[in-house]
Structure 1
């Protein structure tokens, strides 16, 4: 693991492995790059893969306040300093929101955009709603403990998901304060408009979500068809909120087919 400085002393921890066309993997809210180790190890056979802890997470700096635009700026600086543009972007959960907003501003730096279990309009509120619905079950527990209790509602393959989640906690445990700061940044706190239109982009886009994901559904993607010139949407039938983990082999099959077709066309 290495670190680079992005702005005002903020350091971003990253890992860079493999050779070939670059792919950048961006983790979810309250997660860290350990959540992407398995995917990184599979992809590095074919590509150069970069994973990193977004600010406020993992081994990266944890400022007292930041915004979604800071995530976008961090990614832009990371790409410039590592000379890895254009690159394919894969974003899970919050990582998809970061990747999409980055693409909105730096479209020529993006070869393709892949959004995994990422609701661009209601990402945080979906989880908050789930926690409120089951508040009696999670009362008295911190967020990390609450998420484990909510596993039956979030994931179809719970054993696989628990191991994946535990590996993230071993790498770095997110404090309640850091989680609150990161959540506010994603919501563009204090103003948040769930009906805000998704900005149109021309980058080829792949959307993957699990059939049993309570935070994403077919209805979540109604606006997507108007927002992307080239869009493919796949529902994974045997997974919840982590289809790339719960159906890892299926994800690789779909993703490699998607990317290889783009590279062949180019």
Structure 2
């Protein structure tokens, strides 16, 4: 199995294709399988490495960890795989980690794609949204809570629902304790003072109806990175790759060719 011991824990990843490296970093509570669409598009031209972040997927579950741990895990994996320079695509939580990597080792990141991103947070976006709608989700299970809040997160609920059902077959569900640890790792980070250090050509993608990381958050990130561009998807929420897959592919391909 494609595993590596990085920073003292076992990390799981999968590789596809060959060529220039391209690392994919998933969102909170997910794993590398969230990137089925991206992997199919990118593997024809790149060496795609899709990582299960610590505490997620098939990677080791540890009781506590931090954003900095996530960042150093990616850098450690790059060292393990002898990757000197890479492209990175991060979605939601993965976009935070990607920012941290591009700040820490700017010379090692060539192109950076940040999907539904933000640059800072006192809590995870999910924890914030749950707190804002606490009365609405009171007494519901974790799964029921996220279903109830989906109308605030996504625009094309049918497309996202079908995608989620397919993922649910294979993506391991985190226990309550594991989900809490994952949420705590996203508390109190703020990359804004250091985003100027990023030298990679950067693409920001946000969804107009995203209640977790709305477009204003993506625009703020873009405004603080020198070589950046911003795209707002008019028919998407927090999952542009699922809600507007054709435009998503076109925008990313155009950016990679530029």
CA shift, 1:138, in A, is: 2.0
Deviation of 1:38 after TM superposition, in Å, equals 2.2
Q: Is the 8 A contact 1:25 1:49 kept in 2?
A: yes
CA spacing shift, 1:37–1:123, aligned 2, 3 Å: farther
Q: Conserved in 1, the CA contact under 8 Å of 2:207 and 2:215?
A: no
Q: Distance in 2 between matches of 1:94 and 1:212?
A: 18
Q: Which residue of 1 aligns with 2:117?
A: 118
Aligned length: 256
Structure 1, unaligned runs of 5 or more? 262-266
Alignment map for 1:93-112 (pairs within 5 Å):
93-112=92-111
Whole-Å Cα distance in 2 between the matches of residues 109 and 168 of structure 1?
32
Equivalence map 1:1-266=2 (5 Å): 1-8=1-8, 10-122=9-121, 124-170=123-169, 171-187=171-187, 192=188, 197-200=193-196, 201-221=198-218, 223-261=220-258
Contact 2:24–2:50 (8 Å) recurs in 1 = yes
| CA–CA separation in structure 1 for the residues paired with 2:191 and 2:36 | 34
Q: Deviations over 1:195-248 (max 9, x none)?
A: 963531221110001011112334324543442111100000111011122111
- Would you say the 8 A contact 1:210–1:239 is kept in 2? yes
Q: Give CA deviations for 1:40-91 in whole Å, capped at 9, x if unaligned.
A: 1221122221101100001100111111111111111211222233111000
Query: SS at 2:195's partner residue?
Result: coil
Query: Unpaired runs of 5+ in structure 2?
Result: none
Compute the displacement of 1:125 (Å).
4.7
Deviation at 1:151, TM superposition (A): 1.5
Contact 1:103/1:110, CA 8 A, preserved across alignment: yes
Tell me the CA shift for residue 156 of structure 1.
Answer: 0.9
Cα-to-partner distance string for 1:68-119 (whole Å, 9 max, x where unaligned): 1111111112112222331110000000000000111111110111110111
What SS class does the counterpart of residue 63 from structure 1 fall into? coil
User: Which secondary structure state, in structure 1, belongs to the residue aligned with residue 120 of structure 2?
Assistant: coil
Would the aligned equivalents of 1:209 and 1:234 in 2 still touch at CA under 8 Å? yes
